[in-house]
Amino acid sequence: MISVENIDAGYGGDMIIKNISMDIEEGQFAGLVGPNGSGKTTLLRVISAMLKPAAGKVLLNGKKIHSIKKRELARIMAVLPQDSNLPLPFTVRQITLMGRFPYLTKTGRETKTDFEIAEEAMQMADVAHLADRVVTELSGGERQRTLIAMCIAQQPKILLLDEPTSHLDIGHQLSVFNLIKKLNRQANMTVIAVLHDLNLAAEYCHRIMVIDNGLITASGRPEEVLTSEIIKKVFHANVMTVTNPTSQKPHIILTAKADQ
Amino acid sequence: MYKTSTISIYVTLTIALAAACAVSLFAGAVHIPLNEMLSSDIVRLRIARIILGIVAGAGLSVSGVIFQALLRNPLAEPYILGVSSGAGLGAALAVILGITAISTWMLPAMAFVGAVATIFLVYAIARSSNGIVPVYTLLLSGTVISAAMGSILMFIISRSSSEQLHNVMWWLLGNLQILDWELLRVVSFIVAACIAVTIFLAHNLNVITLGQEPAAHLGLNVELTKKLFFLIASLMAGATVASCGLIGFVGLIVPHTVRLIVGPDHRKLVPAAALAGAAFLIIADSFARSVIAPTEIPIGVITAFLGGPFFLILLKRKKHFSWS
């Protein structure tokens, strides 16, 4: 579905990612992990056509992604905003309806179908009961789910996420990830997520790519990639991996240094 | 939230505007009996004032709505990027250089040129090498240019004669007196065209308040939209400043007040703010002319005096004033 071919990209001459290539198949839940500053967000920005690469190309179903019209791309690919700070007191329904923006005609008015799709999206993201509430009064988790409802209303084939739960508590983290998993499974949405939490990545991703210093250093199923050796090498952190007894996925355990 | 139907809001605002116009027609130093209404020159002057009030009130309010959306900042208003100081400098130069004697058009023309030139300068400075205009850089560059223009204006004022000083100050304080119908026609046309375009494209403003990248991900051409709306908002601010000087507060409080009632959807907010702004400015002008008649108070004094407390009451009562 998406193939990244020999991408160099960065800001103002400094290449943050170098010669990255990868393929993401339809229906996959792919995770990008790596230390701060390793280039995972930059890679995501290249894939979302926000940043033009200095070299290489990104193909979406064989078409160069940077040459696809913005409006057309928005119907195929949704990007969950990283900053869930919404300054204006829109209602949850109004925000969700903004997901229909790439489908609006010149008049800029939503049709009955748009309203129906937004209702469904709110149901799916479990914010239908908040439909008439103002987003500025919601909790961080509710706001994040509202923005996911907006992305669902876009009816995309691909969903890109950049640390979607970095400031949420553990309950909201799970509810957001379960929702994304549901979209991945039921709506067959391809998901590409930049993730900080390795355990969440292990639980939810089909495939994980470890990015270090602008290069992909490992790529594969969670149990292949999230080994204590690789994590030690990339993150310079002492960890141990065990197997999660319920999911059989790797689980990373921190090992604190003994008193010095 | 926002249960009040849009139609009833428009109807209420239109009635309020009509009532304000009627009051304004009778308000003032000279009392005119009804049967002399049609033939009176004073009435003609008052009608011109009312039209300018509608145009300036609507223009400043919609300009404020646009700046608040583009900058995602509740403190944004039409003069935030330095339109006021640029126009002030242009007007002061026109008075000092004595070119106001050539034609009554000189002062508004110079003020308009000053306003629009300032915006272009601010925009050019904020623009980075790859053509992107970051919002905070824009605000900073506006503040700095504003201060620089302001200091030149102060210098010019300090060197001017007392008669020139009076002319400049009177203009700076703002008033709706207009003697030239042709000027009124031009300003009305600019503002009406800008508001029409804004209403037509209002759904784009909604999306841009999510932030520039999220808006782009929804398929909006962000840079083009930003440029267009900056131009529209600046043209409206420039045209109103050129024709009636600096009238503060309208472009700040009318958008906020109307947003509290109709919500932040710009497709409703823009027309409602235009109507409300027009009504508010006409009422303010009626006060300006009649409170200590025959002396006229600068309208900017009234807008702040009336608007400030009214806005504070709303702020205290409504918890939905929630910019975050």
pTM for the model = 0.91
- Whether A205 is in a domain gets the answer yes
CATH number of residue B179's parent domain: 1.10.3470.10
C-alpha distance from B173 to closest chain A C-alpha (Å): 32
Q: What local confidence, expressed as pLDDT, does residue A97 receive?
A: 97
Alpha carbon distance B228, B187 (integer Å): 19
pLDDT tens digits, one per residue of A28-48: 999 999 999 899 999 999 999
Q: Which amino acid is at B241?
A: V
* Position A254 confidence tier, pLDDT thresholds 50, 70, 90: confident
Alpha carbon distance A104, A109 (integer Å): 7
Q: What local confidence, expressed as pLDDT, does residue A43 receive?
A: 94
For tokens 């005096």, the residue is B305
Alpha carbon distance B192, B189 (integer Å): 5
Q: What local confidence, expressed as pLDDT, does residue B15 receive?
A: 93
Q: Are A88 and B219 in contact (CB < 8 Å)?
A: no
* Position B236 confidence tier, pLDDT thresholds 50, 70, 90: very high
* Position B251 confidence tier, pLDDT thresholds 50, 70, 90: very high
Give helix B266-290 / helix B41-71 axis angle, nearest 10°: 140
Alpha carbon distance B155, B153 (integer Å): 5
* Position A189 confidence tier, pLDDT thresholds 50, 70, 90: very high
Q: In chain A, whose CA is at the least distance from the CA of B197?
A: A107
Residues of A in contact with B217 (CB under 8 A): 48, 50, 74, 77-79, 81
- Whether A58 is in a domain gets the answer yes
As a whole number, mean pLDDT of residues B196-206 equals: 96
Q: Are B218 and A48 in contact (CB < 8 Å)?
A: no
Q: Is the Cβ of B267 closer than 8 Å to some Cβ of chain A? A: yes
Q: Which of B66, B319, B2, B75 has its CA nearest to residue A136?
A: B319
Q: What local confidence, expressed as pLDDT, does residue B324 receive?
A: 52
* Position B34 confidence tier, pLDDT thresholds 50, 70, 90: low
Q: How many domains does one find in chain A? A: 1
Q: What local confidence, expressed as pLDDT, does residue B217 receive?
A: 95
Q: Are B322 and A86 in contact (CB < 8 Å)?
A: no
Q: What local confidence, expressed as pLDDT, does residue B26 receive?
A: 80
User: Residue B226: pLDDT above 70?
Assistant: yes
As a whole number, mean pLDDT of residues A12-31 equals: 91
* Position B3 confidence tier, pLDDT thresholds 50, 70, 90: low
As a whole number, mean pLDDT of residues B243-256 equals: 90
As a whole number, mean pLDDT of residues B286-313 equals: 82
In 3-state terms, what secondary structure has residue A79?
strand
* % chain A with pLDDT above 90: 67
Alpha carbon distance A237, A220 (integer Å): 21
Q: Is the Cβ of B72 closer than 8 Å to some Cβ of chain A? A: yes
Q: Take residue A184 and report the two structure tokens written for it.
A: 């991945």
As a whole number, mean pLDDT of residues B253-266 equals: 91
- Whether A157 is in a domain gets the answer yes
Q: Take residue A247 and report the two structure tokens written for it.
A: 């999911």
Domain range enclosing B84:
6-317
Distance of CA A18 to the CA centre of its chain: 21
* Position B322 confidence tier, pLDDT thresholds 50, 70, 90: low
* Position B35 confidence tier, pLDDT thresholds 50, 70, 90: low
* Position B306 confidence tier, pLDDT thresholds 50, 70, 90: confident
Helix %, strand %, coil % for chain A, to 5? Answer: 35, 25, 35
Q: What local confidence, expressed as pLDDT, does residue B161 receive?
A: 83
B13 CB-side CA count, 13 A = 27
User: Residue B280: pLDDT above 80?
Assistant: yes
Strand A2-11 to strand A14-24: parallel, antiparallel, or no bridges (unpaired)? antiparallel
User: Residue B36: pLDDT above 70?
Assistant: no
- Whether B307 is in a domain gets the answer yes
Alpha carbon distance B131, A52 (integer Å): 14
Average pLDDT across chain A, whole number: 91
- Whether A210 is in a domain gets the answer yes
Q: What local confidence, expressed as pLDDT, does residue A91 receive?
A: 94
Q: Is the Cβ of A1 closer than 8 Å to some Cβ of chain B? A: no
Q: Are B285 and B296 in contact (CB under 8 A)?
A: no
Q: What local confidence, expressed as pLDDT, does residue B60 receive?
A: 96
Residues of B in contact with A90 (CB under 8 A): 206, 209, 263-265
- Whether B1 is in a domain gets the answer no
* Position B316 confidence tier, pLDDT thresholds 50, 70, 90: confident
Which residues, at least 6 apart from B243, have a Cβ–Cβ distance to it below 8 Å? Answer: B52, B55, B56, B108, B178, B183, B184, B187
Alpha carbon distance A176, A169 (integer Å): 11
User: Residue B320: pLDDT above 60?
Assistant: no
For tokens 């004033």, the residue is B321
Q: Which amino acid is at A170?
A: I
User: Residue B319: pLDDT above 70?
Assistant: no
Quick one: DSSP state of residue B74?
A: T
Q: Take residue B29 and report the two structure tokens written for it.
A: 């130093």
Alpha carbon distance A229, A240 (integer Å): 9
Q: Are B320 and B58 in contact (CB under 8 A)?
A: no
Q: In chain A, whose CA is at the least distance from the CA of B264?
A: A90
ipTM of the complex in this document: 0.91
Q: How many domains does one find in chain B? A: 1
Alpha carbon distance A149, A130 (integer Å): 12
Q: Which has the higher per-residue pLDDT, A256 or A203?
A: A203
- Whether A259 is in a domain gets the answer no
Residues of B in contact with A109 (CB under 8 A): 203, 267
Quick one: DSSP state of residue B207?
A: H
User: Residue B314: pLDDT above 80?
Assistant: no
Domain range enclosing A135:
2-254
For tokens 């809001």, the residue is B9
Q: Which has the higher per-residue pLDDT, B3 or B95?
A: B95
- Whether A162 is in a domain gets the answer yes
C-alpha distance from B215 to closest chain A C-alpha (Å): 9
Alpha carbon distance B184, B48 (integer Å): 8
**CA distances for B245 relative to B87, B189, B218, angstroms:** 8, 18, 39
Q: Are B263 and A102 in contact (CB < 8 Å)?
A: no
Q: What local confidence, expressed as pLDDT, does residue B140 receive?
A: 92
User: Residue A106: pLDDT above 90?
Assistant: no
Q: What local confidence, expressed as pLDDT, does residue A258 receive?
A: 64
Q: Are B217 and A136 in contact (CB < 8 Å)?
A: no
- Whether B322 is in a domain gets the answer no
C-alpha distance from B233 to closest chain A C-alpha (Å): 19
Q: Is the Cβ of B127 closer than 8 Å to some Cβ of chain A? A: no
- Whether B285 is in a domain gets the answer yes
Least CB-CB distance to B1: which of A50, A75, A91?
A: A91
CATH number of residue A156's parent domain: 3.40.50.300
Residue A77 main-chain phi, psi, to 5 deg: -130, 125
Instruction: Count the helices and strands in chain B (H runs, E runs).
Output: 13, 0
